[in-house]
Amino acid sequence: MPLKPKTNYQDIKKMMNVRYAVSNADPFYSSTPWQRLRKVKLQQSALCEDCLLQNRYEPAVHVHHVVPRDVDRSKELMMNNLKSLCHSCHSRIHGDRVPERRA
Ligand SMILES: [Zn+2]
Ligand SMILES: [Zn+2]
């Protein structure tokens, strides 16, 4: 059986994802203030806050805006408007509407 070019395919996929993220992302998410705040938030709350409420321990991978940015832009850099979430909780909150939105 011939070896499948698995690594190449993965690399191409990764490159496409990066390009997608760069061309479609809101510049806010690559801004230094957000990157810095996001890092601090994940350091303070390294576990998913919603899972914790149910005594589950999931590493947080998303920093979610409790009040969405399109509702109140002035809260976008407020620590108390942020929530650390795992991927499944974050997807559940956003539903299918905005699957690629990072926060
Ligand atoms: Zn969770
Ligand atoms: Zn979110």
What sign does the CA torsion over 62, 64, 70, 76 have? negative
Ligand nearest to the CA of 53: 1
Counts for the chain of helices (H) and strands (E), in that order = 4, 2
Ligand nearest to the CA of 62: 2
**Gap from CA of 3 to ligand 1 centroid (Å):** 38
Ligand nearest to the CA of 103: 2
Q: What pLDDT score does 25 carry?
A: 78
Q: What pLDDT score does 95 carry?
A: 85
Per-residue pLDDT tens over the stretch 47-100: 999 999 999 999 999 999 999 999 999 999 999 999 999 999 999 999 855 545
More confident of the two residues 2 and 92: 92
More confident of the two residues 1 and 40: 40
Supply the pTM of this predicted model: 0.69
